[in-house]
Amino acid sequence: MSSIDRTWMTTFWEAFSDCVIEMDEQYIVTNILRKTGSTFTMDIIGRSFLDIAVDKGREFAAKELELLKTTDIPYRRFTFLSRLDRYYRWTLIALHKDDVFQGICGIAVDVTQQSLNEITLNWQRAIIEGSNDFISIADMDGNVLYTNPGAYKMTGYDPASGALPLERIFTPGHLEAISDGGLVRAAAIGNWTGLSELVCADGTLIPIEHNMFSVKNRNDETFLIATIIRDITDFVEHRKEMEQARKAAETASIAKSEFLSRMSHEIRTPMNAIIGMIDIGMRVEDSEKKNYCLTRADSASKHLLGIINDILDVSKIEADKFELSFSEFNFEQALKNITNMANILVEEKQHNFIVKFGNDVPSFILSDELRLSQVITNLLTNAVKFTPEKGTVTLSIEKIEEINEDVILKITVADTGIGISEEQQKKLFMSFNQADSSISTKFGGTGLGLTISKRIVELMGGQIWIESELGKGAKFIFTMKAKKTTLKTRPKPPKEIYEPTGDLKHKAVKRSYDFHNHTLLIAEDIEINREVVSALLESLNLDITFAVNGKEAVRMVSEMPDYYDMIFMDIQMPEMDGYEATRAIRSLSITRANDIPIIAMTANVFQEDIDKCIAAGMNAHVGKPLNFDEVTRQLQEYIQSPS
């Protein structure tokens, strides 16, 4: 190509400032001339021109060169990104001699900044055109020069209808704010923001944030005003929700404070009775008086235990860990037990107590007997409490639907008491609340019963509600789902020994158990607890041995594996807790390692605590304070009574 006339180069060289390039018919660069300061610094001679390009630019350049080579097109001008990370615009012409393609020559101009500007403008245009925000450009006289599609979408106007009517989409107050301060402020300091409402084509009002920005020329003079309007409906709604949540939190905080005050009273009252009666009993010599004091202390302690259980139940509800335990039971008998207990309260206030048990209500069901009894007892207790003397309390049970083995029951507790206002009813089933703050002062109670009842009913697949008017009594109604059952397996009654006194026709008060020739190991680290359980089981003729921690219990079992018939295991003990001790006993290389019954004996009474005991290898669980009947039931189940 040395024979080619290069006079054209001088012209190009003077006109452009980067480089001149020559290549042969295979696009191999044969010559390149650079001006001083040129940004094109690649050493490309002897290599393909296509090596200058990157990525898709290489394919694009190859097509352009092929057009020059194979067609009559005199020149091609195109731009691509080079391996120097700069954009070059190439102007190339084909060289022919005697109509034979000889190669290509041309020039390159660095257009990086221009290309980047174009790219920036392109993505800015894409953002503006695709934005859901209202975006417009106006001159200093208020004439709108551009409005994006998002503005029409936000206002509901048809883009084909022309410019948006500002006097209609902006409220009069907002138009005044724009003209009086917005435009002036945006021009003076660069921006202005206002909150208002936008009037849509259908008359709907939407909350907006209106932002205006100044656009300056080279002389730093504002000559255009850009507007961005955002729909802040979600923000406003969120702010309302936050405000409602704040007020609810404040209300809950006040309710909890009142609850703690109420709990202080409710707990201290029976505690005062317990401590006082024990103190009196210790001072008097008369056995009848001592028994009276012990009876009153016992009654107060059970009342205190009920309060503590309510608090624990609500804690489980708050933590979403409240669960039911389903089993088959005699529903009719359970109701008799409930009404027998309620009769004591009813008789004190001389109420008329009516119980209605529907003929089609199944006698045996599968549900949680303890929790169902808890709900009904709570509703009956409230009905009696809030009904003046010689009023009427009615308990009704009816079947409202039956689907295969499932039955839907409706249970109603109605009274002729003081009633509950509509405003008070809204608070009834809320945690830590009573219908009225004066109720605890006048009638007592923790205010937790209905919260617990509501959760129990929901877990039974039902709902609970109230029908009442102030001064006209109340009806508490709940539904529940249960399964019908024939209760084929019934619990074996314990062996009873009667010790009559006097004439056999008038034999007593009283059931006892006999477990002689059986040995019980109790692992308990607290001395007073050992005394209590020893006294509690004294009448059972058991041979009782104590271990003061889990480690000692494991040692005693390993040394005398056939001596102990059953183990009661405390959980929280020093050196080795109940879980570790149980696992250690189960892993002993003795015949009875997996057979000896181990019963958890602990104040940890949450369902997860019980599950943890079972997972550790224990057979069952009894809660503290110990209940004599529950302890004897466990003994009956796991120790064979002597014949």
| Options 1.10.150.120, 2.102.10.10, 3.10.20.30, 1.10.287.130; CATH of 237-318 | 1.10.287.130
pTM score, whole prediction: 0.49
Separate counts of helices (H) and strands (E) for the chain? 19, 22
**Cα angle value 128/129/134 (rounded, 5°):** 65
Predicted pLDDT of residue 15: 52
Summarised one tens digit per residue, pLDDT across range 168-209 is: 999 998 888 888 888 888 888 888 888 899 999 999 999 999
pLDDT higher at 134 or 254? 134
pLDDT given for residue 40 in this prediction:
86
The pLDDT confidence band at residue 511, using thresholds 50, 70 and 90, is low
Q: What's the token pair of residue 342?
A: 């309620």
- What CATH architecture is 327-484? 2-Layer Sandwich (3.30)
Q: Please determine, for residue 608, whether its predicted confidence score (pLDDT) is greater than 90.
A: no
Cα–Cα distance, 378 to 456 (Å, whole number)? 12
Q: What pLDDT, on a 0 to 100 scale, did the predictor assign at position 538? A: 85
Q: Which of 349, 363, 422 is nearest to 397 (CA)?
A: 363
Per-residue pLDDT band at 7 (split at 50, 70, 90): low
The pLDDT value given to residue 433: 55
Structural domain boundaries in the chain: 7-115, 131-231, 237-318, 327-484, 504-638
Q: What is the mean pLDDT of residues 234-249?
A: 86
Q: Which range scores top for mean pLDDT: 7-11, 83-87, 227-231, 408-412?
A: 408-412
In the sheet with 566-569, reading across from the earlier edge strand, the strands are: 543-547, 519-523, 566-569, 598-602, 620-623
The architecture in CATH of the region 7-115 reads: 2-Layer Sandwich (3.30)
The per-residue pLDDT of the chain, averaged, comes to 83
Phi/psi region, residue 300 (left: phi>0; alpha: psi -120 to 50; beta: rest), is: alpha
Instruction: Please give the pLDDT value at position 321.
Output: 80
pLDDT at 394 over 90: yes
pLDDT for res 439: 52
Confidence (pLDDT) at 640? 63
Is a pLDDT exceeding 70 seen at residue 436? no
Is a pLDDT exceeding 80 seen at residue 384?
A: yes
Query: What's the CA gap between 556 and 545, in Å, rounded?
Result: 10
Please give the class, per CATH, of domain 504-638: alpha beta
Same fold, 237-318 and 504-638: no
pLDDT in tens, 565-606: 999 999 988 889 999 999 999 999 988 899 999 999 887 767
Confidence of residue 427 (pLDDT cuts 50, 70, 90): confident
Q: Which of 1-15, 131-145, 282-296, 434-448 has the lowest mean pLDDT?
A: 1-15
- Complete DSSP assignment for 545-596: EEESSHHHHHHHHHHSTTT-SEEEE-SS-SSS-HHHHHHHHHTSSSTTTTTS
Higher pLDDT pick, 188 / 60 = 60
pLDDT tens digits for range 543-557: 999 999 999 999 999
Residue appearing with tokens 């335990």: 325
Q: Give the pLDDT score at 490.
A: 41
Question: CATH homologous superfamily of domain 131-231?
Answer: PAS domain (3.30.450.20)
CA gap 638, 567 in Å, rounded: 10
Q: Using 50, 70 and 90 to split pLDDT, how confident is the model at 431?
A: low
